[in-house]
Amino acid sequence: MQQKPPDRAPAGNGYAIRRVDRYRHGEHEVVSDAITEEVPVAMVYNDVSFAVMMVTPLDLEDFALGFSLSEGLVAGPEALHSIEVRPRLEGIEVAMHVASNVVEQRAGSSGERLLPGRSGCGLCGARMLEDAVRHPDPVGKGLCIEAAALERSLEALRAKQPVNSATGSVHAAAWVDAEGSIMLVREDVGRHNALDKLIGALVKARINTEQGFLLVTSRASYEMVTKAASVGIALMAAISAPTALAIHLAESTGMTLVGFARPGSFVVYTHPQRLLHSAGSHP
């Protein structure tokens, strides 16, 4: 059940409170409703504007680090020398200083925006087909988990999503240990953003990505697989379906890809050896 919002949202919690007209079973009432915030965030590297993302303004330093890593703009966290979050009249600017010139190379001599394509939003400025689909390196061995651990994480996830509990409109990306306990969660209106925030948080906390698995509340599109594989995640479970390209990339990188993960059932599309089924366990 969606939580009843307060009359005023606490500062910095990712949502605003608005008065709305609600109609239910023929009855009308004016109520306070929690509405997810979505603001333009300019990603600026070494004074070069790389992309403008629509983001829920929470955990932006995690987002900056995760985005930089998963998009291949830095090789490691040590190459991201500084992050400064700058509120602007039109939105937010995240200004970063990085060690390499990868951003300048990908932006081109005229400095135009060049962000690889996103499922559902076109090619977003990619000039060539090879710009649109990146093939990450193979993941490591990873760990094997009991199917019961996936079940436990699914049961626990809702209580770990405060923004979604208030608004019902954001995605979550969660890091889960081998026992099924949720260790970290990040939320955002965009599924890619939520994953980038989680990646940044994992790297900042120096969590070994071979010692757990990823659980996301969205579909498993190719860029979600690409981002996860870029930091060595060997098992990803999504509550919705994967795409054909996501399955292809998961197969080629050695990732175990699970879709339609719901209490009591799931579908394994690639590398099923990492999910163990004890006698009498379900499914």
Q: What's the confidence (pLDDT) of residue 120?
A: 44
C-alpha distances (whole Å) from 59 to each of 69, 193, 269 are: 16, 10, 32
Give the separation between CA 94 and CA 145, rounded to whole angstroms. Answer: 37
pLDDT greater than 70 at residue 127: no
- Please indicate, yes or no, whether residues 195 and 117 belong to a single structural domain of this protein: no
Average pLDDT (126-137) is: 65
pLDDT digits (tens, 9 = 90+) for 227-272: 999 999 999 999 999 999 999 999 999 999 999 999 899 999 999 9
Q: What's the confidence (pLDDT) of residue 10?
A: 55
pTM of the model: 0.88
CA dihedral over 189, 193, 199, 200, signed as positive or negative: negative
Which of 73, 97, 132 marks a domain boundary?
132
Give the separation between CA 60 and CA 119, rounded to whole angstroms. Answer: 22
Structure tokens at 119: 């499922």
Question: For the chain, what is the domain count?
Answer: 2
User: Cβ distance 40 to 53 under 8 Å?
Assistant: yes
- Please indicate, yes or no, whether residues 183 and 125 belong to a single structural domain of this protein: no
pLDDT digits (tens, 9 = 90+) for 105-114: 665 545 555 5
Q: Which residues lie closer than 8 Å to 182 by C-beta, 6 or more apart?
A: 153, 156, 157, 160, 174, 175, 176, 215
- Please indicate, yes or no, whether residues 124 and 192 belong to a single structural domain of this protein: no
User: Cβ distance 45 to 101 under 8 Å?
Assistant: no
144 is catalytic: no
Task: Answer yes or no: is 7 within a domain.
Answer: no
Task: Answer yes or no: is 51 within a domain.
Answer: yes
Selecting among 121, 178, 205, 276, the annotated active-site residue is 121
- Please indicate, yes or no, whether residues 123 and 205 belong to a single structural domain of this protein: no
- Please indicate, yes or no, whether residues 176 and 262 belong to a single structural domain of this protein: yes
Structure tokens at 84: 């400064």
